[in-house]
């Protein structure tokens, strides 16, 4: 399976159909499209329609999920997604690509110099934990993208354990992203009762899918 694919609807290179055919050729039983979305994305209806058509067409060959990846936009854990489409989406992934500070503003090189490392960490932590409480969110994508960086190492162990407990309490998945951002946890972090793990490659092309399949096929959820 591969549960994190981006197509040319957002920042990927290939069509959902071509990536579906690649998934079948690779022997996958399940794939999930998770294109980056914003509340004002004008292509979302077309995207949903195309994925649902592929579901019907290839239902005897592979399970296809229609998902989206939306950025966490504030400290309340709100995401950049129009909830009007929620019932048509199988899985909503929330992710932090930049650390929000409120009012849909983010920490960048201009304002980071006015904050100490503990403040930056607390902003990231608050936004992430509140996103896990957001009823619209199913999965927290690449959760250690920012948390594993140098400035968080002193708190990473405590933070990662708290994150896992929060995910369990709120019945949410945490992504095991094969390509990046798992440096701050040990392999046995993922082996925990009632902990829902979401396996994804973050592939943005057919070439990525083929390359990442080598790693994906070695992972056994019973062991991870």
pLDDT (0 to 100) of residue 38? 95
Is the whole-model pTM more than 0.95? no
Q: Which of these, 55, 36, 32, lies nearest to 44 by C-alpha position? A: 36
**SS3 assignment, position 49:** helix
The confidence score (pLDDT) of residue 208 equals 96
DSSP 155-205: THHHHHHHHHHHHHHTT-EEEEETTSS-TTS-GGGG--TT-EEEEE--B-S
Q: What is the pLDDT of residue 118?
A: 76
Using the 8-state DSSP alphabet, how is residue 44 labeled?
Answer: H
Compare 115 and 135 and report the one with higher pLDDT: 135
pLDDT at 223: 46
Best CA proximity match to 31, nearest among 80, 14, 97, 135: 14
What are 160-194's pLDDT values in tens digits? 899 999 999 999 999 999 876 676 777 788 889 99
Please, which residues have CB within 8 angstroms of residue 144's CB and are 6 or more apart in sequence?
Answer: 156, 160, 181, 182, 183, 184, 185
Report the candidate in 75, 70, 108 with the shortest Cα–Cα distance to residue 92: 70
Judged by average pLDDT, the poorest of 33-42, 117-126, 197-206 is 117-126
Set out the domains of the chain in order of their start, with CATH numbers.
2-216 (3.20.20.140)
158: exposed, middle or buried (C-beta count within 10 Å: 0-12, 13-18, 19+)?
A: exposed
Q: How confident is the model at residue 146 (pLDDT cuts 50, 70, 90)?
A: low
Out of 14-18, 105-109, 187-191, the most confident range is 14-18
Of 62, 50, 60, nearest to 15 (Cα)? Answer: 50
Quote the CA–CA distance of 187 and 224 in Å, as a whole number: 7
Q: Is the pLDDT of residue 202 over 70?
A: yes
pLDDT, mean of residues 115-140 = 89
pLDDT confidence of residue 187: 74
- Over the stretch 40-75, which tens digit does the pLDDT of each residue have? 999 999 999 999 999 999 999 999 999 999 999 999
């Amino acid at each position: 399976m591969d549960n994190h694919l981006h197509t040319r609807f957002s920042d990927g290179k290939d069509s959902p159909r071509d990536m579906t055919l690649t998934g079948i050729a690779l022997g996958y039983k399940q794939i999930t499209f998770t294109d980056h979305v914003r509340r004002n994305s004008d292509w979302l209806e077309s995207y949903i329609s195309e994925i649902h058509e592929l579901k019907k067409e290839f239902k005897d060959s592979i399970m296809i999920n229609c998902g989206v990846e939306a950025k966490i936009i504030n400290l309340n854990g709100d995401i950049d997604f129009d909830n009007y489409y929620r019932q048509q989406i199988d899985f909503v992934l929330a992710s932090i690509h930049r650390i929000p500070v409120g009012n849909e503003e983010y920490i960048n090189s201009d304002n980071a110099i006015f904050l100490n490392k503990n403040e930056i960490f607390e902003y990231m932590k608050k936004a992430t934990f509140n996103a896990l409480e957001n009823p619209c969110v199913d999965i927290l994508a690449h959760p250690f993208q920012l948390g594993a960086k140098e400035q968080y190492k002193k708190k990473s162990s405590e933070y990662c354990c708290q994150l896992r407990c929060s995910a369990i309490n709120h019945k949410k998945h945490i992504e095991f992203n094969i390509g990046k951002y798992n440096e701050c946890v040990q392999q046995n972090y993922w082996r925990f009762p009632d902990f829902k793990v979401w396996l994804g490659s973050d592939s943005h092309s057919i070439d990525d899918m083929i390359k990442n399949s080598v790693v994906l096929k070695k992972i056994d959820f019973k062991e991870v």
